[in-house]
Amino acid sequence: MSPGFQRSRVTRHRVVVLFAALAWVVTSVHGQAAPAREDAAARKLDAHLRHAIDRDGDEIAQRVIVRVDPSAAAAVAAVLTQRGDTLLRYHAGISAFTVRSKRLVALAKHPGIASISVDAPVAALQTLAAPAAPLPNDEVVRDTVSVRGSYTGAGVGVALIDSGLEASDDFSGRISAFYDFTRGGVAATPYDDYGHGTHVAGLIGSSGALSKGAYAGLAPGVKFVVLKALDSNGGGLTSDVISAIDFVTANRAALGVDIINLSLGHAPYESATTDPLVQAVEAAVRAGIVVVASAGNYGRNATTGVIGYAGIASPGNAPSALTVGSFMTQDTVRRSDDRMNGFSSRGPTYFDGAAKPDIVAPGYRLIANAAKQGSLFAKYPTLRVAGSLTEDYITLSGTSMAAAVASGVVAQLMEANRSTNLTGRLTPNAIKAILQHTAIRMHDDVGAEYDALTQGAGALNGAGAIGFARGVLNNTAVGAAWLDLALSPDSGSTLIGGETVVWGNTVVWGNTVVWGDTINVNQPAWANTVVWGNTVVWGNTVVWGNNLVADQTVVWGNTVVWGNAVLQGNTVVWGNNDLTAVSNGNATLNGNTLVGGDR
């Protein structure tokens, strides 16, 4: 099942190339391209490419991802070949080519081309701060956001798209397959030359055998399908990640995959509606796979420490992804002292103004497996956890870690639901709704509730979500109550660390808020055909700044909205003056539904 660029598939898809397309080739090869800002075709190019063309011209070949109308795939392939472009890969799941090409504005004029995007570098989303003393206790994380012992994720498959996984006794017998997409997707012996993927896998489902259970993951019964897309420096290409997602989606049943974990990302350069990485995620979710994605680590200005909004990375901006931000447990089980991490990316999404993150989970100073052959282990010895001669574990922070914790809880939730449902499966959107409904609203040091663009629906409450999922009857008719109260009473609260914590009871679909006990009924919204609603206009001044598209780095320019500033017109209230002040119904501004929660 090793994938690759299969040109013959495209050729068979559309044998006849129209004469009109051939005539278009002549003009595109020999014509003079206008500056990107002046040409209507340039609207098909992402922001990075438009900026690069305006700055450097359109005669520099770039590695790009060209999305096409499926019916025009063969015609576009012929055009690319005629132009002398280098076709590198075809992504059947999103009908797109990865190609090295120039004269992109002329290329974009082809009627069969939907969008052209830079093949952006992606990176692991962790921070490398050294662990503090005393070391955090992983049992705290498990007791804080999960139910220990009852459910292990048995029977659930997790696709880990990351830097790989170094085999050890903590994963014995549970690495089902390994494919190396840094080498074209070939099947290979498991390895991790960086270390991020092994750490993420450990948080999801390490058995803890090497630590006598001390550093076990959330779901030690899951099986892993590993798809290496990041190199020895924790970097990679968007096209490799898309190929990995495409491969999992196409072979989901054979691979036994229920969850894809994406603890990686890149800065957004275009709307989610055209972003090829987002489109790959959407296709996976439509196929029934829960895709868990990191929100990003762009919540705070690295120089000033000031918090900013609209820093959600791609593919965390995918509407159907379960996008996870990060909070810190303060190394206690109780939830009242949980606090948001400053680095955790806030919403909304940059180009579309969609509500993100969906939830937040522990992501600060978490201990999990080390890849001792990887560069992280070699270059950063201070990350190693002392206490054994072999130093089998390291400490990392970031929304990468938070996403991994969430993936582990999703695996437990799936097992719990299947234990009471012999047939039928919860849809990915139903799982997201359950996690949001049972999430816990968090407060800062002075007791003010974090706004919904910071914490989403709230902090992950695995105990509540797992219990709720156990009581859901999957085959319930649409419009009927689907919660068996005998199996799982919807108490609206959970006892954690000696405290009774109240559920947020809020589900956010795009920009639409569902309140109260709506989750108790099986609705079309919980199906894969969910409509995500209209885009809220959040204004034009957010964290990415004006220079982001130039060099793919986060620039905290002069047009950033910080803190408690209230913007007028077609935008929202930021900071602590957020939209959760309303207690009944949906709040609207200029006709758009805003993000809120029960207070």
pLDDT of residue 570: 26
Residue among 48, 110, 196, 199 flagged as catalytic: 196
- 369 versus 557: the higher-pLDDT residue is 369
Q: What is the DSSP secondary-structure string of 134-169? A: SPP-HHHHHHHHS-TTT---TT-EEEEEESB----G
- 59-100 pLDDT, tens digit each: 999 999 999 999 999 999 999 999 999 999 999 999 999 999
Q: Which residue did the predictor score with more confidence, 586 or 271?
A: 271
Instruction: Count the Cβ atoms, other than its own, within 10 Å of residue 553.
Output: 10
pLDDT per residue over 142-153, tens digit each?
A: 777 777 678 999
Give the architecture-level CATH label for domain 7-119.
Answer: 2-Layer Sandwich (3.30)
- Is the pLDDT at 54 greater than 60? The verdict is yes
Q: Check pLDDT > 70 for residue 563.
A: no
**What is each CA distance from 194 to 162, 244, 475, in whole angstroms?**
10, 18, 43
Span 246-255, average pLDDT: 98
Torsion from C-alpha of 72, 78, 84, 90, nearest 10 degrees: 60
Kindly report which listed range (36-50, 91-105, 239-253, 284-298) carries the lowest average pLDDT score.
36-50
In this chain, the answer to whether the domains covering 7-119 and 123-526 adopt an identical fold is no
Query: Rounded to an integer, what distance in angstroms lies between the CA atom of residue 402 and that of residue 342?
Result: 14
Find out whether 344 and 299 touch, Cβ atoms under 8 Å. yes
Query: Could you please report the per-residue DSSP string of 44-70?
Result: GB-HHHHHHHHHH-S-S-EEEEEEE-G
> What integer pLDDT is reported at residue 375 of this predicted model?
95
Confidence of residue 513 (pLDDT cuts 50, 70, 90): low
Instruction: From the options 3.40.50.200, 3.40.50.2000, 3.40.50.2300, 1.10.287.110, give the CATH code of 123-526.
Output: 3.40.50.200
Domain regions of the chain by residue span:
7-119, 123-526
The confidence band for 377, taking pLDDT boundaries of 50, 70 and 90, is: very high
From 39, 576, 561, 530, select the one nearest 350 (Cα to Cα): 561
pLDDT of residue 81: 96
- Per-position DSSP letters for 385-412, written without gaps between them: PPSSSS--EEEEBSHHHHHHHHHHHHHH
- Return the percentage of the chain with pLDDT > 70, whole number: 74
More confident residue, 334 or 438: 438
- Using one digit for the tens of pLDDT, what is the confidence trace for 441-492? 998 999 988 888 899 989 999 888 998 899 998 888 877 888 888 887 666 7
Q: Which of 39, 46, 58, 162 is catalytic?
A: 162
Q: Burial of 221 by CB count in 10 Å (0-12 exposed, 13-18 middle, 19+ buried)?
A: middle
Residue 306 is which amino acid? Answer: V
> What dihedral angle (degrees, nearest 10) is formed by the CA atoms of 64, 69, 75, 80?
-10
Cβ 340 vs Cβ 325: under 8 Å = yes
211, 314, 345, 400: which is the annotated catalytic residue?
Answer: 400
48 is catalytic: no
> What is the model's pLDDT at position 8?
38
Provide the pLDDT for residue 518. 60
Mean pLDDT of 299-310: 84
**pLDDT value at 383 more than 60:** yes
Whether 336 has a pLDDT exceeding 50, the answer reads yes
Residue 400 is among the residues annotated as catalytic for this protein: yes
Interval 414-438 mean pLDDT = 91
Tell me the per-residue pLDDT of 38-51, one tens digit each, with 9 for 90 and over: 578 889 999 999 99
**Reduced to 3 DSSP states, what percent helix, strand and coil does the chain have, rounded to the nearest 5?**
30, 20, 50
Mean pLDDT score of the chain, rounded to an integer? 79
Q: Is the pLDDT of residue 233 over 60?
A: yes
- Alpha carbons within 13 angstroms on the beta-carbon side of residue 548 total 27
Say whether 196 is catalytic: yes
Residue 510, phi-psi category: left (phi > 0), alpha (psi -120 to 50), beta (remainder):
left
Confidence class of residue 389 from pLDDT cuts 50, 70 and 90? low
